[in-house]
Amino acid sequence: MVNLAEKKGAVLSRIPGRAIPLAHTVFGVSAFLLALIIGCYGHYYKIVQNGVAGYPDEWFPSVSATTGDWYPERNICQILIALTAGPRLVLCYLWYLLIVRNVPPQGSLRFAKFLLTNDIIRTVACGGWVFVTSTDDHDIHDVAMMIYLFCTVPHVIGTIKSAPQNRRAQKYRRIFAYTFFGALVPMIYYFIQHNVHRVPGAYTKYAFFEWSLIISDLAFDAVCMIDFQTFELRVVDVGMSDKDEFATYNELRTFGGGSKSSSVFNQVRPREALSYVADVYLGFIFWSMLTSLPLMIWYFPLWNMGLSGYEAFLFCNVTVAFLGIGALRRLVERNKGQLHLLSLVGVLSYKILDPAYRLMAVAMGVSISLLTWGATFFGQRHQHGRAERGALSLALGLILHNVVKQGWWANNPIWPIMHAENGGQNMIGLLLGILASAQIMTRKEPHLNEAKSIESSKVSEHWVQAAIGAGGYLFCMHSMYTDSSTIGRWALGGYPNTGPFPVAGGLMVVIAMAIGLALSAERSLATSIKWWAVGSLGLTVLHVHEGNFSFAGGLVFTVYALSLFPTLIRSLSRHPPGRTFLVAMMTYNVLALAHVWVVAYAFVPGGEIMREHTDYVLIAMQLCILLGIRNANPSAGSFLVETRTRTAFVATRLYARLALMGLVALSLLVCLNRVPRSAPQPYHPEHKLITAGIWTIHFAIDNDMWNSERRMRDAIRDLELDVIGLLESDLQRMIMGNRDLTQFLAEDLNMYADYGPGPTKHTWGCTMLSKFPIKRSTHHLLPSPKGELACAIHATLDVYGKEVDVIVSHNGQEEDLLDRRLQTTELGRIMRESNNPFLFLGYVVTRPGAGEEIYELLMNGGHIHDVEVSDWDRWCEYLGFRGVKRTGYARISHGGITDTEIQVGKYQLLENHPTSWDKTQSIEEFRKEEKYEQIPEEQVPKGMRFPSIFYGQGIRNHRFHVFDRPYYYA
C-alpha cells in the first residue's frame, strides 16, 4: 500500500502513528490538569464544598466539582476534551486496523468490529459526562458516567487480549488496568460513606481515587505509543493513479475486507430479511405468552388468599415432551407455520371475559408455541446456519419484548390482561402474528439433503446436564430479563442512592443485552469457567448491594447471561427431544415455584424452607447454568458446511447485528420520548395544601383480571392527590409479569416515585408517589418473626420549602399478633424520633379506638393524631398526622379495581401552626391538642374541597362511601 502510493508520488503528508496517542494524552491530561490548577486558584473553597461538609474537613476537589461547576475551568476542560475527541476516535480506528492485521482471520474481523463499536460508544459517553455536568442534569451525567465505566471493561480486556505481543507495552497495560479497577472498590466505599452515611472528609478520599481513575485511563491509552511505533499515517492523492492500481490500493487498505464485506451485504435480500423479521416477531409472541401465563395464574391464589388449584397450569409446558414421539415431531416440523398460527389462541384469549377460560386459552397457546419452537430447534440441529438463526430469533424476540414493554411502561400491549380500554394493542399484535405465521407457511424450507453438514468432531455431551442447564437458563431469562427495569429494581435503594430510574436504566440493560448477544458468537467464551465466574460475581454484587454499584453488577451479569443464549439452545437440541425437553421444563418449573415461595411462604406448604431466600434460588440457577455450559461442547458449533449453508450462516449473523442495532436505536427513541418535560407541582399551592391518601391496589390486577393502572391513574388524578401510598405494589416477579406500575403512574401523573423495598427484600411492596420532591428516604423491613415480611418507606419531602416526613407501610396479617405488635412498635419509634411534621399512610390490621393494643401502639407510640377518631368502621387502612393542620377526610370506594377503598386526608402546612413537638411531652398532654370540630363544606374554600364528582353514584364506580360525604375541619 505504501509503496504504491510512493511510486505515484502522491504522498502529501506523513504523520508518525505514535503521534495520535501522544496527542490524545497531551490534550486529555491538559484538560483535567489545567482545570484542577485554575479551579484551586480561583474557587478553592467552593469546589471542595459538598452537601455534607466543606473546608477543612473536605480539602481536595472531586473531578466533577473541578470540571463541571465554575468558569473558566469548566470551559477550558470542555474545549480541550473536544480537541481530545479527534485523536481518540482515530486511535479507536487504528486499533481496529491493528487487530485485523495481527490476529488470524478466524473471528478477528467480528471481534475488531465489536471492540471498535464499544470504544466509539465509550468515547461518546465520555462527552456525555464531561459536557453535561451534574449541575446541568444529574441523571444524564450519571448515566453517561455509568455507560463509560461499563464500556471500559470490554475496552481494557479487549485491548489487552488483542494487543501485539510487545512485552513492554503489555506490562504497562496490565499495571494501569489493575490500578484502574483496583481504585473502583475504595472509591465506591468512600462514596457510600459520603452519600449514605454522610461522613465528613469521606468525599476528599473519594476524590483521590476518582482522580486516579483519570490518570490510569489516560495512561492505559498512552501505551499505544509503543504499539504504533511502526505505524505511519499518510495523506495520499490518488487522483493520478490508474483504475487498476487504485483498486489494488483500496483492497490492500482494507486488508481484503472490502470484498468480504460486499459479499455479505449482497446476502441482504428483502424476502430473506422479511423472513427473518417474521421469526423474530414469533419469538416475541412466545415470550409474550410465556410471561403472561404465571401472571394470570397469580390472579386466582391472590383472591383465594392461598392455593387455588389453577397453579397446575404452570406445568402446561411439559407437553413439549411429546416431541419424543417421532411421528408427532415430524408432523410439527412440516407444519411449523400452521402451529405458530394455532398458538396465537394465547393472544386472542383477551376476547374471553371469564378469567378461568382465558387462562386455559393462554396455557394452550404456550403449549403449542413450545412444541413448535422445540421442533424447530431439534429439526435444525444438523443445519448449522438455520439452527443459529432459530436461537438468535428467539433471543432477539426477547430483546424486542423488553423494548416493547419500555414503550408501554413495563406492560406488554398484547398480554391477555390488556385490552383497548387500558392501552392494549391485542388486535394489532394478533394480525402481525398471523402475517408472520403465513410467511413461514409460504417460505421454502431447505431439505436436509440441500443443506447437509458434517460435524468436525464427536460431541461428548450428556442429555441430563444439557436439560438442567437449559431449564435453569430459561428461568434466568424469564425471571430477570423479560423487563428492562427488573435489574434496576433489584438494585433499588432509598433516596438519594436509588440506582438508575427505569428510563435510563432500562436503556442500559437493553444495550447490555445486545452486547451479550453480540458476544454469543464466541462459543469458547460462553463455555468458559472464568466467564461464568465473572457473571456470578456480577450477580452477587447485584443481590448483595444497593444503588449504582449493585446495578453495575447487574449489567455485567446481563452481558454474561445473554452471551450464553445460542450455545445452551444448541446443546439442548442435540439430544433426544422427549426426555431432554421434559427435564428442562421441570427444572424451570421447580425454580419458578421456588422464586414464588421466597415471598409467598406464608400461604404455601413448606414455605418456611424458602422464606426470604432469593439467594438459594440464584445459587441453584447458577449451578444449573454451570452444568449446562460445562456440558456444552464448544467444538460442536464448528461445522464443515456446503457453501450455501455457510452463506446462510453469515447472512444470519448479519441480520442479527442489524436487528440488534435497530432494537437499541428503538429503545433509545422510547427513552427519549419518556424523559420528563417538567417538574411536578402540587395541585393547590395557593393554600399550601397537602392531599394524601392510602390505597391497597392488589398488584394492579382488577377484579376481572384486567390491568388496572389507567383506572388507578384516573382516580388519583381526579382526587388531586399530592401524596399517595400504594400497597401490594411490587410487581417485579414472574407471577406479576415483571411489571412496574410506578413507571406509568409517576410519568403520566407527573409525580416523584419511591418504589420502596425492591424484589430481593421479599415483601409484597409499598410505593409512594409525591408531587413534592423527595429529599431522602429509607426502606424498612419491619420485624416479622413469624408471618409475612412487612415493608415501610420513611421519606422526607420538601413541602413548600419545609421538610415533612411521610411513612407508607404495609403491616402483617391478622393471624400473626406478635408480628403486628413488633411492626407497629417499630413504626411508632420511627415517627416518635422525627422532629418534622409527619404524615402516616399505612395498613395496620386493628380496630380503631382506645383499648385496642395495635391501634394505641401506632397512635400513642408514634405521637400522632388519628385523622378521624369517630370513624369506627375501619379495619386495616389508617391515616395519621402531626405538625400539620387537618382540613378534610374522605373514604372513596375502590371501583372494582381491588377489594380495598381509598382513604384521603387534606392538610395544610401553615406558618403560624406548630410543626415540631416537644418530645418530653406526655401522650396525655399531646392528646389535649386534638381538635375534631367539623364544619360544613360551604365554609371551606373551593380549592380545599374534595371534588364534587364523587358524590352520589360518583364516577367510574368511585364515590364517597361509608358516610357518603367528606368531613371538613376548622
pTM: 0.77
> What's the CATH number where 916 sits?
3.60.10.10
> In the listed set 415, 444, 473, which residue is the last one of a domain according to the structure?
444
Residues 423 and 478 in one domain: no
CA 500 to chain centre: 9
Distance CA 255, CA 116 (A): 16
Residues 144 and 195 in one domain: yes
Residues 548 and 592 in one domain: yes
Looking at the domain assignment, is residue 259 inside a domain?
no
Residues 140 and 52 in one domain: yes
Number of H helices, E strands in the chain: 34, 17
pLDDT at 759: 95
Residues 387 and 509 in one domain: no
Give the number of residues written for the chain: 970
For the chain, 970 residues long, the average pLDDT of each consecutive 10-residue run is 44 74 87 89 87 88 83 86 88 84 59 87 88 76 82 87 81 89 85 82 90 90 85 67 39 34 53 92 98 96 86 95 94 94 97 96 97 87 66 96 97 98 96 96 63 43 94 98 97 92 94 94 89 96 94 96 94 92 97 94 85 96 96 58 51 86 94 88 97 97 97 98 98 96 97 96 97 97 92 98 96 91 97 95 94 95 95 94 96 96 96 74 86 93 97 96 95
Residue 587 cell numbers, joined: 427444572
Both ends of the chain: CA-CA distance in Å? 90
Query: Beta strand pairing status for 766-770 and 752-754?
Result: antiparallel
322 class by beta-carbon count within 10 Å (0-12 exposed, 13-18 middle, 19+ buried): middle
846, 820 in Cβ contact below 8 A?
Answer: yes
Residues 127 and 27 in one domain: yes
- Residue (of 586, 280, 292) closest to 413 by Cα position: 292
Per-residue burial over 286-315, b = 16 or more CB atoms within 10 Å of its CB, e = otherwise: bbbbbbbbbbbbbbbbbeeeeebebbebbe
Looking at the domain assignment, is residue 215 inside a domain?
yes
> In the listed set 582, 613, 639, which residue is the last one of a domain according to the structure?
639
Looking at the domain assignment, is residue 927 inside a domain?
yes
Per DSSP, 691 falls in state E
Looking at the domain assignment, is residue 252 inside a domain?
no
In the block, residue with C-alpha cell 380496630 = 847
> In the listed set 187, 210, 232, which residue is the last one of a domain according to the structure?
232
Structural domain boundaries enclosing 225: 16-232
Distance CA 51, CA 776 (A): 13
Distance CA 385, CA 645 (A): 6
Residues 177 and 110 in one domain: yes
Residues 67 and 165 in one domain: yes
612, 789 in Cβ contact below 8 A?
Answer: yes
Looking at the domain assignment, is residue 649 inside a domain?
no
Looking at the domain assignment, is residue 251 inside a domain?
no
pLDDT at 86: 87
pLDDT at 524: 86
Residues 369 and 436 in one domain: yes
Residues 502 and 577 in one domain: yes
Which H helix or E strand runs over 116? Answer: helix 108-131
pLDDT at 303: 85
Residues 388 and 293 in one domain: yes
Number of other residues whose CB lies within 10 A of the CB of residue 75: 12
Looking at the domain assignment, is residue 255 inside a domain?
no
Active site residues: 810
Residues 625 and 771 in one domain: no
Looking at the domain assignment, is residue 273 inside a domain?
yes
Per-residue burial over 846-881, b = 16 or more CB atoms within 10 Å of its CB, e = otherwise: bebeeeeebbbbbbbbbbbbbbbeebeebebbbbbb
> What's the CATH number where 303 sits?
1.20.1250
Distance CA 952, CA 424 (A): 31
Q: How many domains does the chain fold into? A: 4
